[in-house]
Amino acid sequence: MKNILLLCTGNSCRSQMAHGYLNILTEGKVNIFSAGIETHGINLGAVSIMKEDGIDISNHTSNNVTEYTEIDFDYILTVCDHANENCPYIPSKNAMRLHHNFFDPSKVIGSDEEKHAAFLKASTEIKDYVKDFVRTHLATSKL
């Protein structure tokens, strides 16, 4: 089974949403890990927007990347520039590393409607990216 790491700064929002979508799209046929170079706890806005899309991430935990040093990853996906630029060495022999800097909805200050719109924008971008990743990298291989 493939091992996939989703890496963000605080493992609270973008990596958690990607984890939720990846889990659904791969139907549990890959091992998915999400982590941050720091841990900030799960963002309630991310939990809420994913629930609107029928995905429950409320039981996810915020993990530090150092917890996964013994896992040989097939893919490491960084979802923010900060994590991509500051990630510690991850000793995976043949991991394909992919990067996409997603908009951070947790940084939006404004009304509840503006915050909701920000999380919706980010979740839509992340869902599209994860769908493309699965189609491009996993669809032709054995999950």
> b/e map of 126-140 (b: 16 or more CB within 10 Å)?
bbebbeebbeebbee
- In 3D space, the residue among 114, 99, 104 whose CA is nearest the CA of residue 46 turns out to be 104
Taking phi over 0 as left and psi of -120 to 50 as alpha, with beta for the rest, 28 belongs to: left
Q: List the catalytic residue out of 5, 79, 80, 122.
A: 80
Q: List the catalytic residue out of 87, 90, 95, 126.
A: 87
- Catalytic residue list contains 13: no
- Catalytic residue list contains 87: yes
Distance CA 119, CA 110 (A): 12
Q: List the catalytic residue out of 5, 8, 32, 47.
A: 8
Residues serving a catalytic function are 8, 80, 87
